[in-house]
Structure 1
Amino acid sequence: MITQFPKDVPFNELGLNIKKINALIEYCKDEESDELILISKNGMYHENFTNTNKPIALNSLTKVFAGTAIGLLMEEGLISSLHTPISTYFLNLNKTEMSEITLWHILTHTSGIHTDGHDNELSAAPNIAEYVLALPITDKPGTVSKYSNEAVGLLSEIVRRITGKTIDQYLNEKLFIPLGIKDWEWLKDQSNNPYAYAGLSLKGIDLAKFANLHLNDGVWNGKQIISKHWIDTATHPTQSINRNWGYLWLTAYVEDVYVGYGMSGFGGKYLLVSPKENFIAIRLVHRKDPIPAPSADLFFKLAIDIIK
């Protein structure tokens, strides 16, 4: 546990393997990264390769923030159970195939809602929720693990129907302001609803605050922002269909041993958190078309190798 946000130190003072850190730094340089942040119990190494001062699009990393919104609503008692059917919020779904889908199914990528495997049509839809609710069910909910931008897209509208606020307004109040995150952006559909599966942009240092909050069991400056129970549950395997998924977090293993969790966003936005090792690794880059996206697997391998 890192109880305070760490101070800046040279990478050779992190107390970690210097040769392995150098390998990760070289990877980030080769892949034209904008920011690399490494945090250990000894401090934080922050390399801003391009001197960027603008928020960077997190793409699918946005999903863990959407999941966090559901966790915060649970703590407020505004959601009684993750097994609440989504028809509670979309009454027109009663007696349809979608009536069996619950919040839990969305958070674990087991909703069964048809997915295209990309977000081209989804992001072009005038209203994300209406688009998704018109899609067919291709698998019985809770039986197949299939990564779904479409299902996660519903979380934005669900948050709005519960709170009367858009998901960015809600998270700004409950998460960003308490963490001192002021410079952020969130893309919206034509109906002014923020995308829940992508769309959030943050600076590397602010993503590090969010990650550090998780290392500190949800406590920031002595105040409980996210419950420890939610963090523990959301960042560990949640079902037997695919142990790689928590609640929109991916779990990480070395030789079948759990070492932490993280998430990636298209185009090279990566976050790894290892509570046992008090370790965080972040790599961000502004999307540079038509340069191919770097290997997420290689980043996570190099990052995990530092703490092995």
Structure 2
Amino acid sequence: MNNCILDELIESVKTQNLQVLSVVVRKDGEIIAEHDFEESKPTLLWSVSKTFTSMAIGIAESEGYFKLTDKILDYFDADIREISDNLRKMTIHDLLCMGTGHAECPMTKAMNANQLLDDISKLFFDEPAVFEPGTHFVYNNAATYMLSKLITVTTGRSLKEYLMPRIFEPLEIPEPQWEVDVNGICYGCSGLYLTARELSKFGQLLLNKGVWNGKQLIPENYIEQATKPQIDTSEFDAFFATADHKQGYGYQLWMNSYHNSYRLDGLYGQYVVILPNKNAVVTYVSNEPTNMTGVLELTWNTLIDKL
């Protein structure tokens, strides 16, 4: 262990009053530094959950359940009341890269209107696809929910059940909590609870191109596609957006401004920063309500040159 490389990071957390709970640094496959600001426990990962959903899609495709080029109409016909031309074109790939053609996220829109989220599929398909799918990025929690539902529709298992023998058990992660909706579908876009150490294993799995203990858990070609830009995000204009939000989006993964790196990214400062050029993974679990990007930027400002 080389915890002294975290001294500047820890000081910066205190100076900025960032609510980081845990940080874990892995290099060359091993944990080289970690610090718990509070006792480590399974924590809601928010949108970091999305990347687990994405990897389930990659595995399920390799097992023959579907192809990324398949039209989503082929799997959700019973959920759809009106079929537009753009909806006919929408593929699984479009769900993965947040290119559904919607102008806003149907779940966010419903929550802002104090609507119940008791039928997310209906919300998704009732929202007009005003852009041609694949051409316009909109961060879309409902798209990820539909990916989770796709796993259940095609495999007969919940997303968590599907991933237990394929990812969680090989990584020696005890069965986690993953929140479900009223229909028993894992939200997919959020809802997964893990510790920082458990989450860092998943980050290492991605850096390893899907290999763990000599076994290919996730297809390498899928990870290669997932971790490179699939859609342009240069116009992403959320109030918190920085250069790290303008580099493109893969399959439920953000590209970073730091060359050849990408991240899992969740509300309140949940991050797994994958740094292939450094053969390193930096994992944060946080509860930061106002300066989420400040947590991510600890990597660039205090740590990257030490790896």
Please give the range of the TM-score, normalised by the shorter of the 2 chains.
0.7 to 0.9
What are the Cα deviations for residues 204-253 of structure 1, in whole angstroms up to 9, with x where unaligned?
Answer: 11101101111222111111111221111101112457651111100112
- Shift of the 79–28 alpha-carbon distance from structure 1 to 2, 3 Å rule, reads farther
Structure 2 residue identity aligned to 1:193 = I
1:64-75 matched pairs, under 5 angstroms? 64-75=51-62
TM-score between the two structures when normalised by the length of structure 1? 0.84
- Aligned residue for 2:162, secondary structure, equals helix
Structure 2 residue identity aligned to 1:121 = A
Deviation at 1:88, TM superposition (A): 1.1
Residue 67 of structure 1 contacts residue 247 of structure 1 at CA under 8 Å; is this kept in 2? yes
| Cross-structure match for 1:5 | none
What are the Cα deviations for residues 171-223 of structure 1, in whole angstroms up to 9, with x where unaligned?
Answer: 11211111111052111111111101111111111101101111222111111
Structure 1 residue identity aligned to 2:251 = Y
> % of aligned pairs identical?
27
Paired residue for 2:159, among 167, 171, 175? 167
Structure 1 residue identity aligned to 2:190 = A
Structure 2 residue identity aligned to 1:51 = E
Separation of aligned partners in 2, 1:94 and 1:72:
30
- Aligned residue for 1:276, secondary structure, equals helix
Residue 151 of structure 2 contacts residue 159 of structure 2 at CA under 8 Å; is this kept in 1? yes
TM-score between the two structures when normalised by the length of structure 2? 0.84
| Cross-structure match for 2:295 | 299
| Cross-structure match for 1:50 | 38
Structure 1 residue identity aligned to 2:26 = I
| Cross-structure match for 2:276 | 275
| Cross-structure match for 1:3 | none
Deviation at 1:270, TM superposition (A): 1.4
1:137 aligned to 2:129? yes
Deviation at 1:264, TM superposition (A): 1.6
1:193-232 matched pairs, under 5 angstroms? 193-232=185-224
| Cross-structure match for 2:72 | 86
Residue 13 of structure 2 contacts residue 20 of structure 2 at CA under 8 Å; is this kept in 1? yes
Unaligned runs of 5+ in 1: 1-8, 13-17
Q: How many aligned residue pairs are there?
A: 283
1:22 aligned to 2:7? yes
Structure 1 residue identity aligned to 2:183 = S
**Structure 1 vs Structure 2 CA RMSD:** 2.3
| Cross-structure match for 2:252 | 248
- Shift of the 110–279 alpha-carbon distance from structure 1 to 2, 3 Å rule, reads same
Structure 1 residue identity aligned to 2:9 = L
Separation of aligned partners in 2, 1:198 and 1:241:
21
Paired residue for 1:110, among 99, 113, 119? 99
Deviation at 1:269, TM superposition (A): 1.0
- Aligned residue for 1:152, secondary structure, equals helix
